[in-house]
Amino acid sequence: MNTTTVRIIKFEFSDVLRSKWVLIYGLFFFLLTETLFRFGGTSARVMLSLSNVVLIIVPLICIVYGTIYLYNAREFMELMLAQPLRRRSLFGGLYSGLVIPLNLSFLVGVGLPFLLHGVERTAHLQAFSMLLLAGVFLTLIFIALAFLISTAYEDKMKGLGIAILSWLLFSVAYDGVMLSLIYRFSDYPLEKAVIALTLLNPVDLARTLLLMQLDIAALMGYTGAVFELFFGSIMGAAISLAALSLWVICPMWLGLRQFRRKDF
């Protein structure tokens, strides 16, 4: 990372932090977690409710906010590109400058109430870290997708529409296809295919990793046992992590390629 990138990150950082949306984002998570603690009580229950919200809200906010932000930063980008500056550095700077504040406000918003209230069992600590990890990865992935979309489409409204559509695709439509496949092929041994399908969608992967941590595996009978065998193993953890990382890297790489060729 060269010094220009760092300077862009710094600039972006203060710019993003100054915009109230990131603070509202953090405040939302803080208030939600705090409320859940005050009403729900146990840390396990709070994590359960929170995981639902994280899996739905984080991708939605990130992809929408990221897309809007990048369209609005168009002028800034053009200004920067007038300077002797590598496009790659600008791209990296923009990405980091967006991702770091968002993740920070997410981590603080969720983490602070947990610091205040604590967890009942040390086993919950692991589930909690998984929750944070899922949130961070979903932010990285959906901001990367936002970059891809906003560089691919010139028209702001079109880009925004595509952003919301892709969120729907990952959160709802994909699950619909998966569910119908599970029904369609119920005569076959499906466990492995279901694991493969889960790995292909970052939202489903994050959800499954959280489910496994929150002890739902026991409810699944044989399927749960197969899942536990996979996700509980070092190999499974490595593959999950690799799949999540690929979901960050691929859109980033494609976005960067477009960004380089793009004529501003």
Partner 1 sequence: MHLILYDDKKMNPAKLLILLILLFTPLLSREIRVRPDGEVSTLNAALQLADDGDRIVIDGGVYREAVVVEKSVEIIGLNHPLFDGEGQRQIFIIRAAGVSIRGLTFRNCGISFIEDRSAILIDGAQDCTVENNRFLDNFFAVYLAKSAGARIINNVIRGQAASETSSGNGVHAWYCKDITITGNTISGHRDGIYFEFVQNGLVEKNHSEGNLRYGLHFMFSDRCRYLDNTFRQNGAGVAVMYTKNVEMHHNRFEENWGSAAFGLLLKDITDSEIRSNLFLGNSIGIYAENSNRLEISGNDFLENGWAVKIMSNSMDNHFSGNNFIANSFDVATNSRHNFSRFEKNFWSGYRGYDLDRDGYGDVPFHPVRLFSMMVAQNPPALVMMRSLLVDLLDLAESVFPLLTPETLVDEKPLMRRRP
Partner 2 sequence: MKKKFHWLVLWLLGSFLVGGCTPSPAPIRYGQDNCAHCQMLVMDAHFGTELVTDKGKIYVFDSIECLAWHSTASRMPPGQVHSRWVTPVDAPGTLVDAAGAFYLASDNLRSPMGLNLSAFRDENTARSFQQNYGGEVLRWDGVTALVGRRWGQGQ
Per CB under 8 A, residues contacting partner 2 are 181, 185, 187-190, 192-193, 196-197, 200, 221-222, 225, 250, 254
Q: Which does 40 bind (CB under 5 to 8 A by kind): partner 2, partner 1, none?
A: none
Question: Scanning the structure block, which residue is given the tokens 């504040």?
Answer: 101
The radius of gyration of the chain's CA atoms, rounded to the nearest angstrom, is 20
Q: Which does 216 bind (CB under 5 to 8 A by kind): partner 2, partner 1, none?
A: partner 1
Chain residues in the site for partner 1 (CB under 8 A)? 51-52, 55-56, 171-172, 175-176, 178-179, 182-183, 186, 190-191, 194, 198, 204, 207-208, 210-211, 215-225, 227-228
How far, CA to CA in Å, does 138 sit from each of 21, 102, 125, 126, 167? 18, 11, 20, 18, 11
Output the smallest distance, CB 137 to partner 1, in A: 17
Q: Cα angle at 72 between 66 and 78, to 5 degrees?
A: 115
Which own/partner pairs from 76-79 qualify as long-range (CB within 8 Å, at least 24 positions apart)?
Answer: 77/264, 78/264
User: Which residue number, 77 or 216, has a Cβ lying nearer to partner 1?
Assistant: 216
Output the smallest distance, CB 211 to partner 1, in A: 6
User: Which residue number, 42 or 223, has a Cβ lying nearer to partner 2?
Assistant: 223
Q: Which does 52 bind (CB under 5 to 8 A by kind): partner 1, partner 2, none?
A: partner 1
Output the smallest distance, CB 224 to partner 1, in A: 5
Output the smallest distance, CB 73 to partner 2, in A: 23
Output the smallest distance, CB 180 to partner 1, in A: 10
User: Which residue number, 100 or 216, has a Cβ lying nearer to partner 1?
Assistant: 216
CA dist 43 and 263 (Å) reads: 51
Q: Which does 141 bind (CB under 5 to 8 A by kind): partner 2, partner 1, none?
A: none
Task: Yes or no: say if 138 and 58 are a contact pair by the CB < 8 Å rule.
Answer: yes
Task: Yes or no: say if 40 and 49 are a contact pair by the CB < 8 Å rule.
Answer: yes
Q: How far is CA 8 from the centre of its chain?
A: 23
Task: Yes or no: say if 83 and 127 are a contact pair by the CB < 8 Å rule.
Answer: no
Task: Yes or no: say if 205 and 244 are a contact pair by the CB < 8 Å rule.
Answer: yes
Question: Scanning the structure block, which residue is given the tokens 């509980």?
Answer: 232
Q: Which does 136 bind (CB under 5 to 8 A by kind): partner 2, partner 1, none?
A: none
